[in-house]
Amino acid sequence: MILHHENHSLKDLHTFGLDVKARYYLVYHNEEELKELLNGTLIRQHSLLLMGGGSNLLFLKDYDGVVLHSAIDGIQVAEEDNEQVLLKVGAGVEWDALVAWSVEKGYGGIENLSYIPGDVGAAPVQNIGAYGVEFQDVFVRAEGYFVDSALPFSLNKKECAFGYRDSIFKKELKGKVVVTQVWIRLSKQPRFLLDYGPVRSAVEDLGSINLHNIRKVIVAIRCSKLPDPKEAGNAGSFFKNPVVPLAFFQQLQAIHPDVPHYELAGGMEIKIPAGWLIEQAGWKGRQVGRAAVHQKQALVLVNLGGATGKEIYALAESIQRDVQQKYGILLEPEVNVLA
């Protein structure tokens, strides 16, 4: 049954925990309910926001439109052989619940993406990634419906045009489609990726390299760096790690020899940790009103309680200005800002 709410508080439905409301908040549990909503007048007459776990949103004010939330559940094994398994997963499944399920089954490929907040339907939109793994590495296709016509679509990996924290769903198809099912391919004989940060040494300290230990380490690392949204509202990493041309990086490195970096595109592009830039600019642990930069991880902006979205956004803009002035790099928000 479709759940229909008006002037509904979103405070407990997004991880920043801001006291904002949606004019309409609708929850659907299957594709038939979704098509009924898409063919109805409410969505056609108002602006539309697709909301999963609310882990990547910053509201600057109440949302005067329709917030649509998927509760489509289910993890199905569609195909399998001795080496691989193809999964069909409902968009409303919690991402980390899928990772935990996969690790328990012995299916490898997403263990490095443990403890990332949000729902499965948002994974292809954001092309989530962590510790050397991106969602596109396991992605097969996404299915769903066009908002304006309620007609179905199916997009493969190439058609999704994945990039760093990017996809067609954030560009040409932004706000135009609703993802209902995501298909991913995992391995029964996984190849472990451990050479990112302290992962390898931490896993080896547990005695053996396996899916369970990798997940355990990733969860521990993320918990040590990221505050619990229930205690300090946040959206995880607020900014993307900037990717710059090699020539620009070489100029930067000549001035700042200690800048950490990771090579991309065969060494022609360089990724620089945004958290390092923010910390070097003097923002780590700083508080402005009820908004602050987290004391342990400079990449995370937090709501200390009672902050408004505008306060958090003003803090983000101040950080952007300082980093750009010092390093010539404009940090790009990873969070979706709703003005």
Exposed/middle/buried for residue 82 (C-beta within 10 Å: 0-12, 13-18, 19+): exposed
In whole angstroms, what is the distance from residue 58 CA to residue 60 CA?
Answer: 6
Q: How confident is the model at residue 264 (pLDDT cuts 50, 70, 90)?
A: confident
126 and 203 in a single domain? The answer is yes
Domain, as residue range, for 218: 75-223
Average pLDDT over residues 296-321: 97
- Which pTM value belongs to this model? 0.90
Are the C-beta atoms of residues 163 and 127 closer than 8 Å to each other?
A: yes
203 and 125 in a single domain? The answer is yes
112 and 215 in a single domain? The answer is yes
CA-based radius of gyration for the chain? 20
Query: Which 8-state DSSP code applies to residue 120?
Result: G
CA distances 52 to 116, 159, 180, Å, are 13, 22, 11
104 and 144 in a single domain? The answer is yes
181 and 245 in a single domain? The answer is no
DSSP character string of 261-323: -EEEGGGTEEE--HHHHHHHTT-TT-EETTEEE-SS-TTEEEE-SS--HHHHHHHHHHHHHHH
Q: What residues act catalytically? A: 165, 237, 334
Q: Which of 48, 70, 92 is the last residue of a domain?
A: 70
How many folded domains does the chain comprise?
3
Q: What is the pLDDT of residue 230?
A: 87
79 and 218 in a single domain? The answer is yes
CA distances 139 to 152, 242, 272, Å, are 19, 24, 26
85 and 219 in a single domain? The answer is yes
Q: How confident is the model at residue 226 (pLDDT cuts 50, 70, 90)?
A: confident
Q: Tens digit of pLDDT for each residue in 92-146?
A: 999 999 999 999 999 999 999 999 999 999 999 999 999 999 999 999 999 999 9
In whole angstroms, what is the distance from residue 333 CA to residue 241 CA?
Answer: 9
Q: Which of 192, 208, 223 is the last residue of a domain?
A: 223
234 and 165 in a single domain? The answer is no
The rounded mean pLDDT for the chain is 96
334 and 318 in a single domain? The answer is yes
Q: Where are the beta strands (DSSP E) in 114-192?
A: 129-130, 133-134, 139-146, 152-156, 177-187
CATH code of the domain containing 319: 3.90.78.10
99 and 195 in a single domain? The answer is yes
Token digits of residue 250: 């070489």
